[in-house]
Every structure is written in structure tokens, then in C-alpha cells.
A and B are shown apart, each in its own frame.
Chain A
């Protein structure tokens, strides 16, 4: 069995309660941090661990923390991003549901490290059951002296609150989340200033994903060095992967970064292969925003190396032949799935979720949805395919926040790798309404690199 740092005790009965969590070693990191470490030492430990943001961007957490401005007499805030909304991602829901105290524990240590006296967990509004779970856990922790005034007699005070969102994907973007926490529409802010200088109520603020905050607990317990020994290269530690789609055993898995993709999909310890004896056609490896890859390119890189579940390996080959680890939302498509239909579905999502602030995204996502709809429903023209690429390029990089890129990439990558399936929808509109294109050559072994190079 692979090493688990976050979900080791997930199956202990009653682990969602304070007492059981505590009996199983919970809140040790709070004692260690508050009694024997300075805030700066904690930040250094997180830097040493190599922990990278688990929400999708993969930015080094320790570095993000060290950017936090600390002007005299100004409050600083830690806000946990639990607005989990990226299609394919449901790890934070799982963690908050089953082991809420791990998040609370991480929040206390991280708040202490950053000098925050009030911290918020911003949870997407639809997760009302998880909000109730967290509020109960906070009350238990407070009752035991781990929150509130003078924590463990140290003189450090911390209040922790849960804030519900209202059903807006955009609020997962940190400045939109801050706007939402201030009671406004979730329109992302222009950066700079970055939240580390001016965040919630214009105070220095750090926004971290649920899993990132949870990972601080083993880092403090065992040391940053120990954490960095787990994983592969610059992808240190473990990662929660949300596996969905046509898999035998979908669910949340904690993996050691560097696990081969093939093992993750096919071994019984993880997803157990493709459901119903079907064959794998494609994978979106890091949540709907990252480029979709055909089966052959997700299992191996263009150089013929086995593809690994790590930041580096998944992005090997750039966007030409690679993708991204993103938030770890791993969506598998079997041979009966239609890539055009799924691309249309995703583009409808981004159109729906665009905040409307920047015209390339507001207009472009709508056009992509419309054009993909007509391709899927048999009214497409051959020129539509290049039109989609053109629109996606005009959105990418031209918006305040990354939602524009997130909307453009799935469309551009689907056409890059599945262009013949799009063309087939144009040339065979009636047939495309009745059956799917199938597996085609998408699982065929990759051509040797020399051939690829000579073709170009």
C-alpha cells in the first residue's frame, strides 16, 4: 500500500468527531507549532516541504506565505478556498465530510504561522451539509481549547468561521472569492495588488485550497524534509485524486505523486480499470480546464516514457502532447463517449460560469458553446472547427482571471487531438446523431518520435 499522509485514518469509525480524531494523533501539529515553533519557522518548514498549491495552480505554498505583507497594526487573514467547483473535482468535499478536523487543525497551524487572528473557510453554498459538519467540528475544537482565546495557554487567539458561497464557479479564483467574502458579486480583481498585499477588506490575505491547508499538518508533524522525501522530484508529497467518469471504481484516492497513470487507472488498488469491460478513449487529468488527452498520450509521453501522476510528467510535451495535474480531477472517457458532445458540455459550463467582466470570455464562451452545439447536432460546417480554434485563441491570455484560459483549453485541445472526430460530425451529420465515433485510433501505440519530427 502506498503511503498516506492525509487519509491514513479516514476509515477509523468516528474520525469526524474531535475525541476520536484526537485519540488518533489529531491536533499534535497545533501543540508542536504553538508551543515549540515560531511562525517564521513554520513558514520555513512548509518551504522545505516543497508543498505546491493543491487547488490547481501548483504554486509553492511556502513562497506564497512568505509574500504576505506584515504592516504594523493591520489585521492579516487566512482564507481557505473550499469553493470546489471544477468539473471532475470532489476531493475537498470528501475530506471535509469525513475528516473535518484535519482541515481545522491545518487552519490553526497555518493561521498561527501567518499571524492571522480571524480566519475563514469559504465553502461553496451547495455544500450545506459540509458547512454544518465544519461548524460542529469548530465548536468541538473551541471547546477543547484549540480555538478561541489564548489557545493552549500560549496567548495566541484565533476565531475560525465558515462562509457559504452562492453557487458560482468563478469564486474559486482567489480574488473573486475575496470579493464574494466581502458580500459582493464574484468578479475577479485586477492584479496587482495581489491578495498578499491587499486582500479581504484591503488587508494582507493568503488564500489556500483545503487540501493544501490539510497537508500542512503532516509537514509540521514529521518535518518538511520528511514530506519532501515522498513523491517525485519537484512534485513532493501526496495528492488527492478525484477519479470519475467510466471507471470501475470512481472515488477519491490519495496517491504518492509520481505514480504511473497506467497503474492509477488499471490497478485494483486504485480505479480498477474501465467500467463494463470497455476500452479507454481519453482522459481529462486535472479537472475540466486542463487539456484532454487521447488514451495513448495519457499513458505515455510523446517520448515514449510512461506518464506519471505528477506536475512535471503530466505537463510533459507542453500543450502539444501534454496536459496538467491541475486540481487532480481525473475524468476517464470510454470508447462510447463522444468528444464533441463533451466539449460542448464543458463549453456550456464555462459560458454559464463566466462572470461577464471581460468581453473575450463573456462573448467567446457563448460563441464556442453555440458553434459546438451546432457541430454536435449535425448543423456544423468544416470552417467551424478552425473558427473554434480562433475564438479560443482570442480568449486565452486576454482576460483578468484564468477562467478565460480554462474555457479555451478544453476546446483547443479537443480539436488538437480529436480533429477527425469533429470533421466526421460535419461530413456525417445524420450518422453522428445516431452513433458515436468510437475509439478510432486514439488508443493506438504512439508513432516513434523520429517519425513525428520528420512529419513536421
Chain B
């Protein structure tokens, strides 16, 4: 699973390293492993996904074994282990959202983008997937788009079309 794609050697920017350094100060001396999740979020925000090379670099930075990063990156569903579209539409697929039409929304996104769940559009702009409960059941159906995790609530087929158009035209 971790070796499906070829990667280039990566080097974290000094801006990113400054952010890492600040995060590490939040924990007691010697407990810098606690910074792993926040650091992985920053890596994903920067590169769009988390490659094995990036994981190795994170391990070296936090002075932990690479396996300690792999097991965490593969456990938490927010971390992408392969490249995604520039915008990943994550639609809530759990009970309360389905009571008010989430399944229809997912079918509509699949048809509009022309790619199956988990696949990337040919232009590299979009991918989509169903995710489990996003804790927004009162505003259902909902979707989110990282790395900001902006929320889109009370979705209709029309509002989804509008959203996709807006994202397409965004520079």
C-alpha cells in the first residue's frame, strides 16, 4: 500500500519547519511524538497527500521510528496515502445525512465529475469520497473540502453544481 506511486525526494520548507517547532513546544520534554498528528496535517496541507518519503522525513524530524509514523498515517482516515485531486469533496454518508438525501448527492457528484469514489478527474482537479459522520447532522446533507475543511451544508444537486463550477473557476 505504501509503495504504489513513485515519489520525488522532498525537503520540508523552512516555513513548515517553523510551524513544526512551535507544535513540539506544546508537550513536555521528550514527548515530541505527540506532535505527530498535527505535523501530518500540515504535511498533507502542503503536498495534498502523505507519501512514504514524507513519513520518513517526519519520523526523522520527531526522532521516532518510521513505523511509528506509518502506523498512525494508515490508521486515521483523514490522511491520504496516495495523490488526490486538487479538491477532495468528502460527503458524509452516515445515517442522519442519508435520511435527507446524502446518497442522491453522492450519485450526483459521481455523475457530474465522471469519476468513481476515490478516483481523480483527468484534469487533476477533483476527487470525492463518502466519509463517516462529520458531526453536522442538523445541517445535512453536508460535505467538506480540505485542507481548510470548509463546510458546505444543506446540499442540493443545484448547490453542488454551483460549488463545482466555482472551484473550477478558482485560480
Contacts and interface: CB of A to CB of B under 8 A. Distances in A.
Task: Report if A and B associate in a common complex.
Answer: yes
A242 B138 contact: yes
Contacts of A128: 146-149
Given A166-B77, A242-B137, A88 B95 contact: yes
A164 B146 CA distance: 14
Interface string B29-64: 001011111101100000000000000000000101
Nearest to A128: B149
Contacts of A86: 133, 135
A164 B95 contact: no
DSSP majority for the A interface? Answer: mixed
Contacts of B136: 90, 93
B134 interface: yes
B37 A180 contact: yes
Contact of B149 (A129, A184, A201): A129
A238 to B, nearest CB: 18
Among B35, B38, B93, residue most surrounded by chain A Cβ atoms (within 10 Å): B38
A124 B135 CA distance: 10
Contacts of A124: 135
B135 A127 contact: yes
B31 A84 contact: no
A85 B135 contact: yes
A329 B40 contact: no
A89 B137 contact: yes
Contacts of A333: 99
A185 B41 contact: no
Chain A interface size band reads 35 or more
B115 interface: no
Nearest to B35: A183
Interface in A106-138: 118, 120, 124-129
Contact of A92 (B41, B135, B139, B147): B135
A182 interface: yes
A166 B135 contact: no
Contacts of B71: 184-185
A186 interface: yes
Contacts of A90: 135-139
A127 B125 CA distance: 23
A169 interface: yes
A252 interface: yes
B35 A250 contact: no
Interface in B1-49: 26, 28, 31, 33-38, 40-41
B96 interface: yes
Interface stretch (A17-25, A39-47, A344-352, A381-389): A344-352
A135 to B, nearest CB: 11
Given A126-B149, A251-B138, A345-B94, A166 B28 contact: no
Contacts of B33: 182-184
B34 A181 contact: yes
A204 interface: no
B94 A87 contact: yes
B98 interface: yes
B133 A125 contact: no
Contacts of B138: 90, 242-244, 250-252
Contact of A185 (B26, B28, B75): B75
B79 interface: yes
Contacts of B38: 163-164
Interface in B117-160: 131-140, 144, 146-151
Contacts of B79: 166-167
Contact of A331 (B93, B95, B135, B147): B95
B60 to A, nearest CB: 15
Contacts of A252: 138
A161 B134 CA distance: 22
Among A90, A124, A333, A337, residue most surrounded by chain B Cβ atoms (within 10 Å): A90
Nearest to A336: B99
Contacts of A209: none
Contacts of B140: 244, 250
B100 interface: yes
Contacts of A402: none
Contacts of A164: 37-38, 41
Contacts of B26: 120, 159, 161, 163
B72 A167 contact: no
Interface in A184-242: 184-186, 201, 242
Interface in B56-94: 62, 64, 68, 71-72, 75-79, 93-94
A168 B75 contact: yes
A342 interface: yes
Contacts of B41: 125, 164, 166
A165 interface: yes
Among B31, B76, B146, residue most surrounded by chain A Cβ atoms (within 10 Å): B76
B41 to A, nearest CB: 6
A396 interface: no
Interface in A132-182: 159, 161, 163-169, 180-182
B129 to A, nearest CB: 12
9 contacts: A124-B135, A125-B37, A166-B79, A168-B76, A181-B34, A243-B138, A250-B140, A342-B98, A349-B94
Given A164-B41, A185-B72, A250-B138, 7 more contacts: A90-B137, A92-B135, A128-B148, A183-B68, A244-B96, A244-B99, A349-B94
Top-9 shortest CB links A-B? A166-B76, A244-B137, A167-B78, A183-B36, A183-B33, A128-B149, A250-B138, A87-B133, A185-B75
